[in-house]
Structure 1
Amino acid sequence: MKGCRPLSGVEVRRVLGSFSGWEEQRDRTLFLLGVTSGFRISELLSLRVRDVVRSKRVVKEIEVKRANMKGRHESRQIYLNRQAQQAILSLIHSMQQRGVWSHDSFLFKSRQGKNSPITRVRAYQILSTAFRHAGLSGKLGTHSMRKTFGNNVYEHMLNLVAKGVGVDAYRETAKALGHKSVASAENYLSFRNEHLRAAIDQFEVCL
């Protein structure tokens, strides 16, 4: 959703504690994977069990095939941190216990139909409910997960720059998001205008 804002670390933790119901594990895993991988919602919903499990273990890097990616000519791989790996493992165990598991099963499986993922509309409804229960406000949607990921990557790169590490924060963020150009990352991070606001606030003191 255009204009969606990212979430702070505190807000992410509040949302993670706001899921409930029969598909609690599925919905929490969707959100956690969204904020730690930066995949678009359509890319997340395309994932199957076989994409995240190899030799009975959750993979350390997840790949979305180019056929399921927006405007790209190649697939993209993203590293999964330990928390995301554990969430996926817990979700698969839940699917096994309920007898809805196979290597071909969609990871974020709908209860409607034999084997299909939840729709993008349903994902939006699920997240909107969690955001509301967490007491969040502002323009939020499924794309807030990707915005959160991009913002976190950029913050980390800025910290490295401050320590004297020779990295280009925009370039590294563009790479993590799968953007083809640095300009795309700059536009994507346009919500980060706190320095501009601070400069404008100073005018009041100077005048």
Structure 2
Amino acid sequence: MKKQASRPIKNDRTVWDIQDYLKVAANRSCEGMRNYMLFLIGVTTGYRAGDLVNLKVRDAKEALRAKYFTIMEGKKQNSPFVREKNRKPRRAEILPKVAKELKAYIKDKHDYEWLFPSRKGNGHIGVQAVSNILKNAGLYFGLENISAHSMRKTYAYKIYITSGKDIVAVKEMLGHSSIEETKRYLGLDQERYHELSQALGDFTR
């Protein structure tokens, strides 16, 4: 069976609900705060989960000083040589609320520590673990196909709608190489084809 693509969270209230859901857990454990911060940074920067989990506390401190993250990002490739060649820096602002929460989160943490540590304490949290956390949160609110990648897609969809469907703006903020890549990413072709197909229902009256 073909794996379903991750979906964005299109409703702002649902994004807030998931933040609150994770924050409630954050009041009970350090892991809960980690999950909340990861989601908050993910949906407001659009970085890939694989890049976010590799951050260390020193990276967060540098970002807070600069007021933006700069991450060398890129899709995972089989060859380390291809992966290194395709990686490029992308800058994303840290919003004031995110900065406030992040400062509190890293207080008393050491520079060398992982920003989002594994529950076992032997490295950083894995992308699959992030997907599991968000899948459970999504199911609680009746959402399907929510995963770690949904954070980046939620970011992209929000820009798309807020900009008046400016596909170029989305392309630039995601760091895509072409508009076609961005259209595929947002599923715009499929959405448009569906609308046109539905219009053909006029013939069935």
TM-score (norm: length of structure 2): 0.79
Q: Cα distance 1:202–1:130, how it changes in 2: closer, same or farther (>3 A)?
A: same
Q: Is the 8 A contact 1:5 1:191 kept in 2?
A: no
* Secondary structure of 1:158 counterpart: coil
Q: Is the 8 A contact 2:138 2:144 kept in 1?
A: no
Provide the C-alpha distance between the structure 2 equivalents of 1:58 and 1:126, rounded to a whole number of angstroms.
Answer: 30
How far did 1:203 drift?
A: 4.5
- 1:186 correspondence with 2:194: no
How far did 1:127 drift?
A: 1.6
Of Structure 1 and Structure 2, the greater helix share is in 2
- 1:128 correspondence with 2:135: yes
2:106 to 55, 67, 92: 92
How far did 1:137 drift?
A: 2.1
Equivalent residue pairs, number = 187
For structure 2, which runs of at least 5 residues remain unmatched after alignment?
A: 76-82
Runs of at least 4 residues off by over 3 Å: 191-207
For structure 1, which runs of at least 5 residues remain unmatched after alignment?
A: 160-168
Deviations 1:50-74 (A, max 9, x none): 112149x5541101135xx325342
Provide the C-alpha distance between the structure 1 equivalents of 2:4 and 2:46, rounded to a whole number of angstroms.
Answer: 15
Provide the C-alpha distance between the structure 1 equivalents of 2:144 and 2:115, rounded to a whole number of angstroms.
Answer: 29
* Secondary structure of 2:70 counterpart: strand
Q: Is the 8 A contact 2:44 2:155 kept in 1?
A: yes
2:168 to 164, 168, 171: 171
C-alpha RMSD of the superposition: 2.4
Provide the C-alpha distance between the structure 2 equivalents of 1:73 and 1:157, rounded to a whole number of angstroms.
Answer: 27
How far did 1:198 drift?
A: 4.8
Q: Is the 8 A contact 1:49 1:102 kept in 2?
A: yes
